[in-house]
């Protein structure tokens, strides 16, 4: 019995050693797996820190509230992270609180995020009521929202007419006395942000102002009255509310230049007189032609009558001869004697 115990003891020791060795190998594998995971995590952390660390730190120091996970999400959504972060920082530094998802949504919609933020900051500094939604809508509509805000602060001057687009430098208008006036006006406008979306553009303002100037001059009895008081044109045009349903508000209309052109009335009268002369000549020529035709008709009628007389005269001898043959002529003579 003791021999069997001595024989089984090495076998047990061997199995125990093998079990311990297996456990040791499992621990080594576990340690190696953990080390690999740590290395991968460190690599990923280093990669993320290398790509987004500067932006995250910049946003954190600026109190922009952009997380590292948010930066990674922006990249996955194909959003330019630097554009969003810099816009967020500008907004926060200026006191304009806009959430990061709203900036991302405007970027993904094709908007110009930095320009919208600049417009909001400029509007806030100028005490103009403009929120992010309206600014984003103006930007997506294809309008320059920053230029619109600047025009609201600093009014814009438009030439009427616009020589670059129409090729004309002055407007031509005729007073009631027929004298032409050549006018050039300058229209000062500022942007109406409430009607910028869907409102008419500068071309409409120029067309309406030009129409108003021509109408105002056309209603004047004398061109001298207009030249003595050019401001009456501006007042008359402004009273018509020409900026309705447009993207601008007319501040003032100033007559920059006014010159006397042709005397259209005299020229029209001369043209009318010449036309009347030509008409009278045509009528006289018609009457002359009618008289000549009538004369020819009368000559033809005289010739016809003369032919009839000659024909009648030619019939007299024949009638006399016939009377002689029948004895009617002698009988008539005797009857006359008796």
Write down the residue that tokens 């105002």 correspond to.
216
pLDDT at 7 over 50: no
What's the pLDDT score for residue 42?
65
Q: Which is more confidently placed, 240 or 13?
A: 240
Largest CA distance in the chain: 223
pLDDT at 177 over 60: yes
What's the mean pLDDT in 240-268? 83
Q: Which is more confidently placed, 272 or 330?
A: 272
Domain ranges (residues) in the chain: 157-264
Specify the DSSP class assigned to residue 259: E
Instruction: Tell me which fold the domain 157-264 belongs to.
Output: Tetrahydropterin Synthase; Chain A (3.30.479)
What's the pLDDT score for residue 23?
60
Task: Give start and end residues of each alpha helix (H) in 80-144.
Answer: 81-93, 100-108, 113-125, 132-140
What sign for the dihedral angle of Cα 146, 147, 152, 154? positive
Q: Which residues pair with 253 in a beta bridge?
A: 187
Q: Which is more confidently placed, 54 or 51?
A: 54
pLDDT band at 235 (very low <50, low <70, confident <90, very high): confident
What's the mean pLDDT in 317-333? 68
What's the pLDDT score for residue 22?
57
Q: What percent of the chain has a predicted confidence (pLDDT) above 70?
A: 82
How far does CA 338 lie from the centroid of its chain?
119
pLDDT in tens, 138-174: 898 888 888 888 888 888 888 888 888 877 888 888 8
The full DSSP string for 157-212 is EEEES-HHHHS-SSEEEE-TTSEEEEEEEEEEEEE-GGGTTT-B-HHHHHHHHHHH
pLDDT in tens, 76-120: 888 888 888 888 888 888 888 888 889 989 999 999 999 999 999
b/e per residue 203-233 (b: at least 16 CB within 10 A): ebbbebbbebbbebbeebeebeebeeebeeb
**Rounded distance, CA 202 to CA 208, Å?**
10
Cα dist from 49 to 41, 57, 64, 100, whole Å:
12, 10, 18, 20
Q: Which of 7-11, 22-26, 209-213, 216-220 has the lowest mean pLDDT?
A: 7-11
What's the pLDDT score for residue 269?
77
pLDDT band at 9 (very low <50, low <70, confident <90, very high): very low
**Rounded distance, CA 195 to CA 257, Å?**
31
Angle, alpha carbons 69-72-74 (nearest 5°): 110
Average pLDDT score over the chain: 79
What are phi and psi for residue 228, nearest 5 degrees? -75, -35
pTM: 0.60
The tokens describing 259, both together, are 């010159």
pLDDT band at 20 (very low <50, low <70, confident <90, very high): low
What's the pLDDT score for residue 198?
79
What's the pLDDT score for residue 26?
61
Q: Which is more confidently placed, 1 or 145?
A: 145
């Amino acid at each position: 019995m003791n021999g069997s115990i001595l024989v089984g003891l090495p076998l047990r020791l061997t199995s125990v050693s093998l079990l311990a060795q297996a456990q040791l190998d499992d621990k080594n594998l576990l340690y190696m797996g953990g080390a690999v995971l740590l290395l991968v995590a460190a690599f990923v952390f280093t990669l993320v820190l290398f790509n987004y660390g500067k932006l995250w730190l910049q946003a954190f120091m600026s109190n922009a509230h952009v997380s590292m996970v948010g930066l990674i999400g922006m990249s996955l959504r194909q959003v330019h992270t630097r554009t969003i972060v810099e816009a967020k920082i500008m907004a926060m530094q200026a006191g304009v609180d806009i959430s990061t998802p709203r900036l991302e949504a405007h970027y993904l919609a094709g908007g110009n995020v930095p320009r919208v933020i600049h417009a909001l900051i400029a509007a806030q500094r100028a005490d103009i009521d403009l929120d992010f939604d309206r600014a984003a809508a103006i930007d997506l509509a294809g309008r320059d929202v920053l230029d619109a805000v600047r025009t609201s602060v600093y009014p814009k001057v438009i030439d009427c007419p616009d020589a670059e687009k129409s090729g004309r430098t002055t407007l031509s208008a005729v007073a009631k006395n027929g004298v032409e006036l050549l006018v050039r006006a300058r229209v000062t406008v500022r942007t109406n942000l409430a009607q910028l979306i869907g409102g008419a553009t500068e071309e409409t303002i120029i067309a309406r102002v030009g129409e108003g100037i021509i109408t105002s001059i056309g209603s004047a009895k004398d061109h001298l009255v207009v030249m003595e008081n050019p401001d009456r044109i501006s007042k008359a045009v402004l009273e018509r509310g020409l900026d309705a349903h447009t993207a601008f508000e007319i501040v003032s209309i100033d007559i920059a230049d006014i010159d006397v052109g042709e005397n259209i009335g005299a020229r029209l009268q001369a043209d009318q007189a010449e036309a009347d002369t030509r008409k009278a000549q045509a009528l006289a020529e018609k009457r002359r032609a009618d008289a000549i035709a009538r004369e020819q008709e009368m000559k033809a009628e005289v010739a016809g009558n003369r032919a009839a007389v000659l024909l009648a005269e030619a019939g007299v001898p024949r009638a006399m001869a016939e009377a002689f043959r029948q004895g009617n002529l002698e009988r008539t003579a005797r009857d006359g004697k008796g």
